[in-house]
Amino acid sequence: VQNVRAVMSPPKEKDKDKEKDKEKGSPTSAQDKAASVILAKRMLYRETDRSARFEGGVTVTRGGWHATGGESTAWLAKDQGADCVEITGDVKMADRTIGRSATAEKALDYPKQGKTVLWGSPARVVDATGNQVAGGILTITDRGRSVQITAPEGGKTETIHRTEKN
């Protein structure tokens, strides 16, 4: 298919899931409820592994989260929506909801888990105040509120924190 706009709706929230969220004190965010939309020049869908391959430059959006790259593969859940979305080739990400941006060579996004893993030489995340972290692998968790840094083999990580004058 040429010039594609694929919309993957999130699964409908069940009443028992709402109750679990209330018990845990972690309500589902608007971004979790947003559909994933992928724009690309071409798409190839394979029913055997429920995957959709997007080529020719891709843009992926979900709520305030936005990513671009050269190619992407989305693995679809049985209940609805995307289980996992891989983006490769000069990946650039931005999340307006928390004021964070990132660059990487490859990203693997898990929308249902609120988790994104970035790989690069280095992968880099910058927040709205200019604080930044860089490493071989960055794992963004807790709906974007936390970043775990892993150094490349034999390499190092970088952390820059801006300080304010009192």
Phi and psi at residue 79, to the nearest 5°: -80, -25
**Residue 20 reports pLDDT greater than 90:** no
pLDDT of residue 25: 46
Give tens-digit pLDDT for 2-12. Answer: 789 998 877 66
- 26: confidence class by pLDDT, cuts 50, 70, 90: very low
Q: Is the dihedral of CA 66, 29, 85, 140 positive or negative?
A: positive
The answer to whether 60 touches 36, Cβ cutoff 8 Å, is yes
The answer to whether 107 touches 101, Cβ cutoff 8 Å, is no
Q: pTM higher than 0.75 for the full model?
A: yes
Give tens-digit pLDDT for 103-120. Answer: 999 999 998 888 999 999
Distance CA 154, CA 137 (A): 13
- 152: confidence class by pLDDT, cuts 50, 70, 90: confident
- Mean pLDDT of the 27-50 span: 81
**Residue 19 reports pLDDT greater than 60:** no
**Residue 27 reports pLDDT greater than 70:** no
Q: Return the closest-CA partner of residue 135 out of 122, 154, 147, 146.
A: 122
